[in-house]
Amino acid sequence: MRRFVFDKINTSLSISTDVTTASKIKCNTQPKKVTKGQKHGHSGFLLTQKEAKVLISNDNKEVLHPYLTGDEMIRNFNSQPLRFVIDFTKKNIVEAASYKSLFKIVEKKVLPKRKEDSEKEIVQNKELLEKNFKARIAKSYQQYFSFGSS
C-alpha cells in the first residue's frame, strides 16, 4: 500500500488543486456580475426542448425563452438548455392570453394551483385579521394568481 504524506490539506480536499491562495476577482464584485437569476415559481412554466420546438414561433419568441441553470451550463456539452420557460412577467392576463397555445399550457398546469393557493391565503388572512385587525397579512399567492395584472 502506498502512503502519501502532506504538509497540509487544501480547501478542495485534493492533492491536485490548491485554492488556498485564491483571491477575489474585482470584476466579480464591482459591479456584481452574478445574480440569482430567474425563478419560474412553478414547473408548469417549463417546457422540454421537444415541446418548445413545436411552440416556438415569431409570435411566441417574446415570452418563450431557453432556460439554462448553472448545473446545465457546467454539466452539458456546449451548455445547451434542455428546457424552455414561458415567461409572462411583464404581461397582464389579457396580454398573456393573446399567446394562445402557451397560455393554454399555463391555464392547465399552473392556474388551478395558483387559484387554490390564493383562495387559501384569503381565508387565512381573514382568520388572522379577525384575531388581530393590525396583523400583517400575506398577499404573495394572491399576487401570483393576479398574473401580473397589478
Beta carbons within 10 angstroms of residue 103's beta carbon: 20
Write down the pLDDT at residue 44.
Answer: 92
SS3 111: helix
Domain ranges in the chain are: 39-109, 110-145
Contact 38, 90 (CB under 8 A): no
pLDDT of residue 5: 67
Mean residue pLDDT of the chain comes to 82
Predicted pLDDT at 22: 75
| Cβ-based burial of 39 (10 A; exposed 0-12, middle 13-18, buried ≥19) | exposed
Omega into 81 within 30° of 0, i.e. cis? no
Low-confidence ranges of the chain (pLDDT < 70): 1-20, 28-38, 76, 145-150
Question: Given the DSSP bridges, would you call strands 64-67 and 83-86 parallel, antiparallel or unpaired?
Answer: antiparallel
pLDDT of residue 10: 64
| pLDDT value for 143 | 80
